[in-house]
Amino acid sequence: MRASSQIRFACHAMVVAAGLLWAAAPAGAQQPIKLGFFGPLTDRFAALGIDAKKGADLAIKLANDAGGVNGRKIELVAYDDRGNRTESIAVVRKMIEQDNVVAIVGGSLSLTSIASAPVANEEKVPMVAAYSNAVGVVKGNDYVFRWASVADVQGWVMAHHAVQERGYKKFALLMQDEEYGRGIINGAEQGLKKLGGEVVYKKAFPPTEREFRAIMTEIKALNVDAVLMSGLGPVLTAGGRQGYEIGVFPKAQLYVGCDLNEADWFTGIGENGDGTIGTLEFITPTDNAITKKFMADYEAAYKEKIITHEAGLAYDATRLIIDAMKRGGVDREGIRKALAETKSFTNLSGVKISYTELREPMLPIALGRWDKASQQIKLMKFVEDPALIDPRPWYQYYK
């Protein structure tokens, strides 16, 4: 009786000890690295956040399949902020304090990122804002980096292409009235002023606008050479479509910002929009092997061919953070240092990109042309001239 109970105790003890050892052993070396993510996964901006999360998820899956960082797996801790500013502050604090993330991928709108970026900065957690173009997200926050262009750069590139390469003279500007849309049009206006393009028409509209017929009717009567338009995907699609129906385009050339590369345009532009030029932060498809592999991976993961602006930028932003972990170590300070020192990071379009001292990338702008026949954006060329893509000169417009 006594012996048997002793044996039973010994057996139990061994099982427990083995269990403890099994649990403890990987805990030191194998605990996953936690990477934070926040963005609008529900509510009205859900399409943006969900796409961004797809990009981040894919980057992490591919990195883990390739062995992770020094043998450790990476785990994405994702929170929904519903596009709500106070909620984004709450979730960023939560992921920093409760989940102990080493870095954050910002998958949210500019206005929410502007509210939550200072939180990451105060807590000294490096953050890469994936697709928000507002200067205020990065400016003054030493731990916050951007993986996107400053909006103004896009407008400047548009104006430059239209005047210098196409020789256009008369312009109409259509501005979505929030920070991103204003940035693009500011860049375009400054550029046209410098290069001698004449702006004969300018109109602002809210991001919810879908009705452009009255505006397009007016523009048609003005016989402009080109229309430069800023806005989110649905807005550009509506404007482009109605402009074609009323007959403004293709007589005048339509230029739009990076949101040409949105599902809305692909599904909604239909028979219209041929030849529209967009200023993009990356472009798919290209002939580059890196892009081709990425597109194949993306399609395998999500059964989708269209890689939206948010998905692509969040994918690269996440890869950049993982790359920084490998270079600088898996701690917050090391990641920040490595991010700041980033040189020649290859993005999914196969272009090499370095950071400026303002934590803004020198991101080449891809000029893409919408091709109706193939329903794809065709690469015209990469604009890599530092005089055109440098984000630094535009900081003066944002206090």
Of 61, 200, 245, 376, the one binding another protein (CB under 8 A) is 245
* Contact pattern from residue 173 through residue 212 relative to another protein, giving x for each residue in contact according to CB under 8 A and a dash for the rest: ----xxx--x--------------------xxxx-xxxx-
Rounded to the nearest 5 degrees, what angle is found at the Cα of 255, between the Cα atoms of 283 and 268?
70
Query: Is residue 170 part of the contact set for another protein (CB under 8 A)?
Result: no
Single out the residue of 329, 318, 326, 336 nearest to residue 123, CA to CA.
336
Which is it for strands 198-205 and 170-176: parallel, antiparallel or unpaired?
parallel
* Least distance to another protein, CB of residue 234, Å: 5
Query: Is residue 87 part of the contact set for another protein (CB under 8 A)?
Result: yes
Query: Is residue 97 part of the contact set for another protein (CB under 8 A)?
Result: yes
Using a 10 angstrom Cβ sphere, with 0-12 exposed, 13-18 middle and 19 or more buried, the burial of residue 396 is: exposed
* Least distance to another protein, CB of residue 200, Å: 14
Query: Is residue 129 part of the contact set for another protein (CB under 8 A)?
Result: no
Of 10, 11, 15, 214, the one binding another protein (CB under 8 A) is 214
Measured from the CB atom, the residue of 128 and 263 that comes closer to another protein is 263
* Least distance to another protein, CB of residue 374, Å: 18
Query: Is residue 223 part of the contact set for another protein (CB under 8 A)?
Result: no
Query: Is residue 315 part of the contact set for another protein (CB under 8 A)?
Result: no
Query: Is residue 330 part of the contact set for another protein (CB under 8 A)?
Result: no
Residues in region 139-158 near another protein by CB under 8 A? 140
CB 253 within 8 A of CB 166: yes
Of 32, 250, 268, 285, the one binding another protein (CB under 8 A) is 268
Distance CA(174)–CA(199), nearest Å, equals 11
Strand ranges for the chain from DSSP E: 33-39, 74-80, 103-106, 127-129, 144-146, 170-176, 198-205, 226-229, 253-256, 277-280, 345-346, 352-353, 365-371, 376-383
* Contact pattern from residue 30 through residue 69 relative to another protein, giving x for each residue in contact according to CB under 8 A and a dash for the rest: -----------xxxx-xx--x-------------------
DSSP string of 289-306, one letter each residue: HHHHHHHHHHHHHHS---
Using a 10 angstrom Cβ sphere, with 0-12 exposed, 13-18 middle and 19 or more buried, the burial of residue 176 is: buried
Residue 117 CA: distances (Å) to CA of 103, 132, 157, 319: 12, 11, 28, 20
Distance CA(39)–CA(296), nearest Å, equals 25
Of 267, 326, 356, 378, the one binding another protein (CB under 8 A) is 267
- 235 in helix, strand or coil? helix
Q: Which residues bind another protein (CB under 8 A)?
A: 41-44, 46-47, 50, 79-80, 82, 85-87, 89-90, 93-94, 96-98, 111, 114-115, 118, 123, 134, 136, 140, 177-179, 182, 203-206, 208-211, 213-215, 217-218, 220-221, 233-234, 237-238, 241, 245-247, 263-264, 267-268, 270-271
